[in-house]
Structure 1
Amino acid sequence: MAQQPRIEVIGAGFGRTGTLSLCTALDKLGYKTHHMVRVTGIPEQVSGWLQASRDRDAGRPIDWAPVHTGYTAAVDWPNAAFYKEILAANPGAKVILTVRDFDAWYESVLNTIYAIAAARAKIRVPWFLRRKYQSSVLDTRAMQEGIIWHGTFESRFEDKEFARKVYEDHIAEVKRVVPQGQLLEFSVKEGWGPLCAFLGKPVPQDEPFPNVNDTAEFQWRVEKVKGLGEKLDRQGLAGNAGIAAVAVAGAAAALVGLLRRRS
């Protein structure tokens, strides 16, 4: 196993609790922060998290080098789903639990990352294009579904009350698992003060706390994923029609040849 990277700060909060704002803030404080935006569509990251999931399920040690090399902080999904394993590998790390009002969080997830997942789930990649789209569509979908939607939410995210229980149970578990003094429960609305005090960093002067609202970008990405699905559907139909046409032509030619031989 390769030398394991050292993570100093772990974000245990679910995605859409201000994790991208936290990621940006940590980078400004001198960390190099891992986030889902560093994963999606990057083959080495996607395969690394798929392997981490398999290793955890099998009770094997997780090799963090493929996903965390070069990083000193790790927030958002998929990290939040592995916060206990990351903490075990980095027992001195500080843990930040980002929190948000559940109803606001649920609507945000439903209209952003879950909407993308739902659009991606409908994509059917023609067999002759699978190699081209293996990482960007198929493996990314398998990774996100396995860790988040089928894993954390047991394929029941659309059941709001079930999702509420998962969300609240996660918060309670983090508070129970992380040693006292190593955990900060944090809303990004609180700004630099509590975060910098917890991390022992000076408050950036004349710099507002990052407020990264990427809902519009997510909506654009939803439409982009839907467009890709429609494009692949057309390519699949065209490809299958072409293959069928070749097969019919071949069968016709064979039949003509047989009839000529018989005549």
Structure 2
Amino acid sequence: MKVICAGFGKTGTKSLYAALHLLGYNTYDFLENATYLSEEWIKIFEHGWTTEDFRRMYKDVDAVTDYPAFYFWEEIHKAFPEAKVILMLREDEDAWCNSMEKQLRIMEGSFLLRLMQYLSPTARNTVAKVFPYLGSVVLGHTDSFHWKPFRWARINRELLKLKFRAHNAYVVQNVRPEKFLQFKCSDGWEPLCKFLDVAIPDETFPHENKSGEILQKLLETNPHLMKMKREVLMSSAIITLTTGIAGYFLFTRGPRNIYHSVTSWMKTLPEILHTRT
């Protein structure tokens, strides 16, 4: 581990993630954490952790950004004391809170994301298990990531800002200055590359997730979400086909005939099995 991003989501973490990739760093963002390391994170949330847990989780990773790792930056830094820490900043708390609330609402409003919790085995066994802890542990906001049917989460803006303020202040006070960079995406490549001691790329500094539009882009390009989307489509097709077949038999034969067909088949089943043995 070389770089730990200690900044909250919606402070430019997706842009930093893209920038680190351009600089050649193998970087884990939320989706990598929630898919590759979901079991480890569930264990951390439910039972606690050791420094060795984080050392094992990130031994082959160069950099980490976004949820839930940013909240555990200090624990990761204990495992990798030579890593550098970057704290992403916004212009003020209200701007960050507005952006966070908008992102949560966009995610809540995605029918596909809601379906993934039920129809994608990958999403159900990884992302959907990690999500609830993000609200209760990281945001101090139990309702934030519980996507319950037919309702919107209650968002306490003042509590969010309190968490944001306390987290940032703690990072500033506890990272050694030579290992620490406070950074805004508007700063561009120069301070980041100087801090990391790497050459400045020819490409423009990335600007991802402007106005929260990253969700649609990820659904179209991210391999983890694309796999989950395919599983939703496959599960939907199977459900539709099964429902159609059941509906056809119900319509053409009626409940009574279906019942007699099933019971008749069940009566002959022992004879069939005996014949085969």
1:215-234 equivalence runs, <5 A: 215-218=212-215
Give, in whole Å, the separation in 1 of the partners of 2:127 and 2:44.
14
1:128-167, aligned counterparts within 5 Å?
Answer: 133-137=120-124, 139-146=126-133, 148-153=134-139, 154-155=141-142, 158-167=155-164
Residue 16 of structure 1: how far off its partner (Å): 1.6
Ranges of 4+ aligned residues in structure 1 off by more than 6 Å: 121-124, 251-254
Cα deviations by residue, 1:210-263 (Å, 9 ceiling, x for unpaired): 1123533425779x99xx6xx87x959x87xx6xx8x99659988xxxxxxxxx
Structure 2: 5+ residue stretches without partners: 145-154, 220-224, 264-277
What residue number does 2:148 align with? Answer: none
Given the superposition, is the C-alpha separation of residues 107 and 137 from structure 1 closer, same or farther in structure 2, using an over 3 Å criterion? Answer: farther
- What TM-score do the two structures reach when normalised by structure 2? 0.67
After superposition, the C-alpha distances for 1:148-184 in whole angstroms (9 at most, x for unaligned) are 2111123265111110111111100111222222111
Q: How does 1:175-190 map to 2 (within 5 A)?
A: 175-190=172-187
> How large is the RMSD of aligned CA atoms in angstroms?
4.1
Instruction: Quote how far apart the aligned CAs of 1:11 are.
Output: 0.3
**Partner residue in 1 for 2:171:** 174
Indicate which of 99, 107, 115 corresponds to 2:98.
107
Question: 2:19 is matched with which residue: 21, 25, 43?
Answer: 25
Q: Render the CA deviation track for 1:126-149: whole Å, top value 9, x for unaligned.
A: xxx7xxx44313541220221x21
Counterpart of 1:257 in structure 2 is none
The answer to whether 1:15 aligns with 2:9 is yes
Structure 1 letter corresponding to 2:136: H
In structure 2, do the counterparts of structure 1 residues 123 and 35 end up closer, same or farther at CA, with 3 Å as the change threshold?
closer
| Amino acid paired to 2:188 | G
State, as a whole percentage, how many aligned pairs show the same letter.
26
CA 1:141–1:221: 2 relative to 1, 3 Å: same
Q: Distance in 2 between matches of 1:190 and 1:89?
A: 29
TM-score, normalised to structure 1, is 0.71
Cα distance between partner residues in 2 of 1:188 and 1:52:
31
Count of aligned positions:
238
Cα–Cα, structure 1 residues 32 and 114, in superposed 2: closer, same or farther, change >3 Å? farther
